[in-house]
Amino acid sequence: MSADADFDLFRTSEDHEALREAVRAVSEAKIAPFAAAVDEESRYPQEAHDALVAADFHAAHVAEEHDGVGADALAVCIIIEEVARVCASSSLIPAVNKLGSLPVILGGSPEINARYMPKLASGEGFFSYGLSEREAGSDTAGMRCRATKDGEDWVLRGSKAWITGAGVSEYYTVLAVTDPDGERGRNISAFVVEKSDEGFTFGEKERKLGIKGSPTRELHFDDVRLPGDRIVGAEGEGLKIALRTLDHTRITIGAQAVGIAQGALDHALAYVKERSQFGKAVADFQGIQFMLADMAMELEAARQMVYVAAAKSERGDADLTFFGAAAKAYASDMAMRVTTDAVQLLGGAGYTRDFPLERMMRDAKITQIYEGTNQIQRVVMARQLLQGLPKA
């Protein structure tokens, strides 16, 4: 293999960079102008919703056979990154549509995919993911939500917590225990629940530190009857499908974190070049330059980790579990540091709502928590290392 071919492995394609330009244009023109109001009013970013659907960026991962764009994993990460650069809440639209639908794509029958994926691709119905419960966050196998067989149907009882997009999404991939006496973790199945199903309701919106434009609510199931063909995969395979999903989708949270950090760095750079102190631009002080250099260095390292993990996701590499967890953990820790430093660079102005830095700092925090806390990511990585990291 030539040296040029080797280097091509670490370069995004022309198509990826053209996509970045297109998403950035949409984000800056149709999403950024509303980002502050979305946060201030804690309201759903309908403007971003409409813009992303119109451009086919809301669920670009859906395959062409289901009338989707068929974007690869790296392309989806670039979409999320560019939207998050201006509005983290809005970036959850493509991220959660992938999270909610990927269990169906990975484990569902051709029939269930043909039923739901075209609706997602067209924007007719979004997807959310129902895994966590109040007492079963990191310990997913400890869930209490139950689905009981009744003839050809299933009857769903219980609740789910911290569900992103709840109330907006039309479809929900929900995990529930189907064999209470079965082996822990192998007694869980996955189902598609529709918003219109009788007995399915939502809790009040959570009052959150950040990503205030993305609704987070509980899902309540009061004897919700589901037809037998709503099961995703085989009975008892739900948790395996759910965890396999997270191997892929944790990378999108890394992309979101990279986007938030890039937006913060962009604003901080512009500010320190314009503001003067002691007769010269703030950017001319070496201490400030060192801060900027460290921020950019960590940001680029995180971006490359995310892109490598996305490539592994697309190929289905054996070491994806490690790289997905590593990309998510590193990028989200980086985003918290970079946004905090960006606020510092603006001084008192950074602490006000006149600038977007304090919002970006608040938004960055959740990337260290959802889709598995960064403590859990380290458990995942350590387990992979101790077992002997499989080769790609």
Q: Which helix (H) or strand (E) holds 218?
A: strand 216-226
User: What type of residue sits at position 39?
Assistant: D
Cβ-proximal residues to 87 (8 Å cutoff; 6+ apart), any chain = 27, 31, 32, 34, 35, 38, 45, 48, 213
| DSSP labels, 220-271 | EEEEEEE-GGGEESSTT-HHHHHHHHHHHHHHHHHHHHHHHHHHHHHHHHHH
- Backbone phi and psi for residue 173, each to the nearest 5 degrees, phi listed first: -85, 115
Identify the active-site residue in 82, 218, 358, 371.
371
Look up 298 and say whether it is catalytic: no
Rounded to 10 deg, the angle between the 357-366 and 32-41 helix axes is 70
| DSSP labels, 285-313 | SHHHHHHHHHHHHHHHHHHHHHHHHHHHH
What does the alpha-carbon distance between residue 189 and residue 191 come to, in Å, rounded to a whole number? Answer: 7
Token pair in block for residue 166: 């709840």
Contact between residue 130 and residue 241 where contact means Cβ atoms under 8 Å apart: no
Kindly list the catalytic residues. 371
